[in-house]
Amino acid sequence: MERPPHYDYRDVLWAPAKALTAKRILTMTVFIGVAFVLFDAFVYLALAFEGENLKFVWGAYNIFPFVNFHLESLAASAVYAIGALAALLALMLGFLAVAEMDMEQIRGNRFLTFQEATQFALSRLGQMLVSEITIVAFLVFVAVVFALMGLISRIPFVGEWLYALFFAVPGFIVAILSVFTIAVLSVSVLLLPAVAAAERKGEAFGAILETFSTVIRQPWRWLGYTAYSLVAAKVCGFIYAYFCYRAVQFSVFFGKFGGGDRVEGLVRSGLSHLPANSQLVRDMFNIFPGIDFGFTIAPWLYGGSAEPVGYVMSFMILLIFMSIFGYIGSVLATAQSRAYMVIRFVKDDYRIHDESPLFFNEEPVNPVITEEDKDSAG
């Protein structure tokens, strides 16, 4: 069992170090990869419905079509929205799996495996969906009510009077609650997975209640911890990316002693099949967008060949690049887990580390043999 938490900012402060484990990075990388594939597939499917030239789009954006495409047809817009929501859900499941690893470590189980965390996240898919759908359904209901109020205003003579009479109470009050609900829905992408990881029974209502309770009762504490986690994730992600860059350089430099320039040529070929000069890549290799402090892989982008093995190398390089996002996501999920642990203690005086682990049972041991047992056996 790890040292009992402090239940203050110090627990969140060490989130980047706690997140720097192979299984957490691997778990987050896998779920980011799933989200990435889902988004790409649905985006290109939506563009096909729109009648766009996919070869031209692929030439412009390749595997990173992170652009707000203007879609006119309803079918294409629906496909695009489904893809974005599916990718977002996959990302939240990744946060959930990593947060559960952290929760189990807090409870005393340091050995939760990648398979167990993944199975746990998938088993809570219904809880996540129901929680989000419930919040959205409430907002849709409120929108319908306001539409009906607008319809009432069309009644001759009394309609406008009724609308004006109920505009402030309860209309304005309900509108304020709805705007707040929209804000909670937005932050639930980060917060809900941590809450669900700490929730032992998998109940959607409990997850919704704790999410709202966290934002309502400790908004500034949560905002402060989240702001720190976002900055720390980017800075530490940049440092991790730099080490990845140097590791590739190291392997190529010494690989050339045995394989010659062929080794470097393979890396160049792999990069030639990737949008390695895109804005996303440049931002990841810079400490912050707009700040000229970072490194570049521009010298490696030329001189590759079109051999089939280059595609294999491009996939391997893509995995390394995605692990950078995996570590960033791991930092965010771990920080949210620790932040929720602290906030739960502050608002409810509840210590999560006193709970028993969900995935660990102590091995049975033989009872202590007393002198009476010896005499009876003799």
Mapping DSSP onto H, E and C, the string for the chain reads CCCCCCCCHHHHHCHHHHHCCHHHHHHHHHHHHHHHHHHHHHHHHHHHHHCCCHHHHHHHHCCCCCCCCCCCCHHHHHHHHHHHHHHHHHHHHHHHHHHHHHHHHHHCCCCCCHHHHHHHHHHCHHHHHHHHHHHHHHHHHHHHHHHHHHHHCCCCCCHHHHHHHCHHHHHHHHHHHHHHHHHHHHHHHHHHHHHHHHCCCCCHHHHHHHHHHHHHHCHHHHHHHHHHHHHHHHHHHHHHHHHHHHHHHHHHHHHHHHHCHHHHHHHHHHHHCCCCCCHHHHHHCECCCCCCCECCCHHHCCCCCCCCHHHHHHHHHHHHHHHHHHHHHHHHHHHHHHHHHHHHHHHHCCCHHHCCCCCCCCCCCCCCCCHHHHHHHC
CA distance 337 to 193: 8
Strongest mean pLDDT among 59-73, 86-100, 349-363: 86-100
For residue 170, cis peptide bond before it (omega within 30 degrees of 0): yes
Q: What is the structure's pLDDT at 180?
A: 95
Q: Which of 313, 339, 103, 316 is nearest to 233 (CA)?
A: 339
Whole-number Cα distances in Å, 279 to 284, 285, 290: 9, 10, 11
Q: pLDDT at residue 236 above 70?
A: yes
Cβ contact 103:352 at 8 Å: yes
Q: What is the structure's pLDDT at 215?
A: 95
Class of residue 367 by CB neighbours under 10 A (exposed 0-12, middle 13-18, buried 19+): exposed
Q: Which of 256, 276, 274 is nearest to 265 (CA)?
A: 256
In this prediction the pTM is 0.91
User: Which residues have C-beta within 8 Å of that of residue 363, sequence separation ≥ 6?
Assistant: none
Q: What digits encode the pLDDT tens for the residues 20-67?
A: 999 999 999 999 999 999 999 999 999 999 888 888 888 878 888 888
Predicted confidence band of residue 363 (pLDDT cuts 50, 70, 90): low
For 251-260, give one letter per residue: b (16+ CB within 10 A) or e: ebeeeeeeee
Q: What is the structure's pLDDT at 54?
A: 87
Cβ contact 242:321 at 8 Å: no
Mean pLDDT of all residues in 153-179: 91
Beta bridge partners of 294: 286
CA distance 102 to 107: 9
Q: Which of 90, 93, 69 is nearest to 79 (CA)?
A: 69
Predicted confidence band of residue 356 (pLDDT cuts 50, 70, 90): very high
Of residues 222 and 277, more confidence is placed in 222
Mean pLDDT of all residues in 102-108: 94
Mean pLDDT of all residues in 90-98: 97
Q: What is the structure's pLDDT at 375?
A: 56
CA distance 30 to 284: 19
Cβ contact 117:357 at 8 Å: no
CA distance 195 to 378: 56
Q: What digits encode the pLDDT tens for the residues 308-328?
A: 898 999 999 999 999 999 999
